[in-house]
Structure 1
Amino acid sequence: GSSFFRDMHNWFLPFDAEHSRIAPLLEGNALMKQLLETIGPQLCNSDRYSFILSVESIPSALRGSAMGAMGGELEAMKEQMRADVPTGDADKLDAAIKGYLQDLYRFYKVYERKNEFDDIFCTTISPDLPLIGRYMQKRETLLHIAEFLFRRKHYEEAANLYAELTDGKGSTDTTLLQKWGFSLQQQGRYEEALAAYTRAELIDTENEWLLRRMAHCYRLLHRPAEAADIFTQLFERHPDEAALLLQKGNALVEDGQYNEALKSFFQYEFSVEDAAKARRPIAWCLFLTGQYERACDYYGMILDSDSNLTFTDRLNAGHTALAMGRIAEAIDHYQIGQKLTPGGKTEFLAAYTADMPALLAAQVDETTIRLIPEVLRLHPL
């Protein structure tokens, strides 16, 4: 088959079973024809020619057994390939694009004179080519390109196209608005993503995927109260989805609404058999709202039953003991916490220092707060 591919134009020749070079190979070979019908749709044009011409490289004495071996797998191949045959217009277009790109790729990578050309697959190709410019501006073409980029996670380029396709306040295609928002969100452009999602949600108010995405953006934009409102809406629709109560509670904690957060966490605790996920946020909210005895109970449960303790658990248990005036107990927690800290004393003391405002708010004596680090520095690990 190598002589066939020495002619450059044959790399891009549309497949024709009657072509003079391959017709003799197919003539009288029913099995080869069946194989071609089965796997042909999955191959680009040059691969089809190459597949048939490869038979020539098999010694004539072995051709029968080689074809028989392939024939034995024919039914299995047919079943597998049947599900992959494109049906809709979009799928057929995707298949045509894929086939052309495969032909192009094989030419630049396999053609024996490939070193005489600049490999376009090693460079960035601008879509602003004069030859195809008039086609690129058609809405239908832009939709296909945007979808192609979106599915392959080229979110920046996809977002630019979706911005153009949804331009104008009158755009009511919520699918495009959602994909535009998602493409922006994946780039960390949360304000813009939220604007796109909001436009879509105004049209499709019942779309829960949108609501969840909006809540995520609100939290990343440090607007937790709005995220909490969305989690409330979602829980009203799905009272069996207890995880929404955790998400709502966490958003309320971020907003400083600790008592409201506690209500949400307690509701979660009441709703599930294993409420271990709520223990840490409940304990911390109890501490922040001055309910030290109850916070101490929860930290006791965490320290007794959780096998994945972190230094933060000991740090917060220490804060609670300190707020209750149990200084020796607090120091014990802190000392154990230091041993659990990946960064040792330095990291632990930095975390302690960051929590000083919370300790002051808990009316712990300022002198005590400042002496604790000195005690910890002097104590050997």
Structure 2
Amino acid sequence: MSRVLRFRGELSVLAGRLREQAHRPVPGAESSLAEMLGDRLLLAVRSHNTPSTLYYVQADGETYVVKVEFGRAQTMRDEVQWYRDAARRGLPRPLFITGHSGRGLSFLLLKCFGDGSTVDDLALAGASAGELGRHVARALDSDIELFHLTQRHVDPAQVHRLAERRLARRRRQAGAFPFLRTLLDAAVVTVNGEAMPGVARCLSRVFEDPRLVAHLTPDRVGVTFGDLHCGNILVDGGSTEVVDPRGGPLLPITYDYGKLVQSLEGGYGAVMAGRYVLRRTGETEYEFTTEDVPGYTDLGVLLAARCDERLYLQSLYQAALHFVAMLPHHASAQEETTALYLCGVSLFDKLLAQLA
């Protein structure tokens, strides 16, 4: 059930009207929502690679965030369900107020946390590894607590099949973008003069070797944030919160360790901030560099030291898979997508080198 009745005043009115909008599909839903928010609306922020919009609103003298997706909105439905499931398990998240999914839209009503700055923002601004590490450690400890309270043993083959289905689904989505299919099918990719196996060859190398699959696949799953990259770790002075949990099935903790590896070692934050240089020099040949983030270099070493060898390799593998799986969602921006692909190729190359 919704938690609308547990609070009062303008916030209760706002939540009630959002629920009405969720159940009432209307033409021009976005403008209708803005009209409903009226003078409460302070700012609207749209993402270029997800269908969600953040509306910063004021109620009872406080600022809140309404995260909205219009229409079917399966991603947002899953996120609403994640918050509800966490509360049902006795693991409520402090920013969550209420949320609902309907035919017209799905929404989350969240407390506003700071000015929206993330660990990525701090890192790209030159923050020290010590400052970054405190926020990352808090976020990771919170994630591990969720996992440990809910974990259960599963057949590793089940976890592997989940990864295979995810990649197969994203490959079908990639079919709408010829340039992306070319990247995914490339046998060899040359980056800065170094030839490396393409993603398809790397995946075959793992999937066709049962010993590698067994070594890289965990046998425990549980509740995790599911998207613990540094762009989802919010900071406000010395405080830390995590947003944008990924709904859906229970996941291995290495899924989120992989998200951190993706940020700290893979260059994800720099690419998303446009802090990279990319030039195509041949059919599958590129000059490519991401901005060096000194704080992340040190943190990557610390994260690796926090894991045993197998856990780190599993996390590195997950990070490479994350880069591949996200490509269709970014494909409207071809250069950015190519940069993310090359980050994934680089992590696969690092993984296979360590497995050799």
TM beyond 0.5: no
- The structure number with the bigger radius of gyration is 1
Choose between structure 1 and 2: higher strand proportion: 2
Answer 1 or 2: higher relative contact order, Cα 8 Å, separation at least 6: 2
Choose between structure 1 and 2: higher helix proportion: 1
Query: TM-score of the superposition, structure 1-length normalised?
Result: 0.23
Query: TM-score of the superposition, structure 2-length normalised?
Result: 0.24
